[in-house]
Amino acid sequence: MMNKIMRRLAIVLTIVFAAGCAQSPQRINVQPVLTVSGEALGSGRPIIVSASDQRQNKVLGSLGGVYGATANITIGNDLEQALTRAANGLLASQGYVVNSPDPSAAQLNIVVETISYLPIQQPVGNALKLTAVLRADVTKQGETFSGRYQSESERRSVTKPDAEENEQYINELLSDTLVRMFSDNRLRDFLLK
């Protein structure tokens, strides 16, 4: 009789412990911040910026572990709008006229190809690999330019990152990738010619 009670108690404790280890899904807000040094070279040139999310999978990744499949990380706000807002702010600070009705305005589309969040198996602690791939497709007076920009980073911590930390990681990753894009001399030269 005592063995039966102990066995049931062990099962209940195992279930309670496993439930405590479960991770909730995380929805993060994307708000990249851009600062690119240099002169205000836009000189009043008109430009229209848009963004398109062409990721095959809208889930960034999962927190991993026993309940990894239920602990997905997704973007909670409008990714395309956030990227457009960040790019417009940067270009306006560089002297471009953003959202211009001018028919000769350059058309810049920021294409999101990949944003991934991949936990890396570790004997102790937690590690993850983050990757973002963005493409700049530009049309200006019948000519086109396309550039592809990728950033990667690895993060290590003792505990699994919470939503606030993951939001910071993803925003830093996207900011770095956009800075790489707008620091590309080929893109800059195309917009200025």
CATH number at residue 180: 3.30.160.150
What pLDDT score does 160 carry?
82
Residue type for 67, please?
Y
| pLDDT higher than 90, residue 151 | yes
pLDDT at 124: 79
Please, are residues 33 and 173 in contact by the beta-carbon 8 Å criterion? no
- What pLDDT is stored for residue 12 in this prediction? 43
Assigned token pair, 136: 């700049």
Q: What is the pLDDT of residue 63?
A: 81
Q: Give the SS3 label for residue 105.
A: coil
Domain assignment of residue 20, given as a range: 2-192
pLDDT of res. 87: 96
Residue with tokens 């990681």: 169
pLDDT > 70: percent of the chain: 84
To which H or E segment does residue 166 belong? helix 163-182
**How many independent structural domains does the chain possess?**
1
Q: pLDDT-derived band of residue 16, with 50, 70 and 90 as boundaries?
A: very low
More confident residue, 71 or 92: 92
Give the residue with greater pLDDT, 48 vs 5: 48
Q: What is the DSSP letter of 97?
A: E
pTM equals 0.83
Q: How confident is the model at residue 166 (pLDDT cuts 50, 70, 90)?
A: very high
What count of other Cβ atoms lies within 10 Å of the Cβ of residue 103? 7
11, pLDDT greater than 70 = no
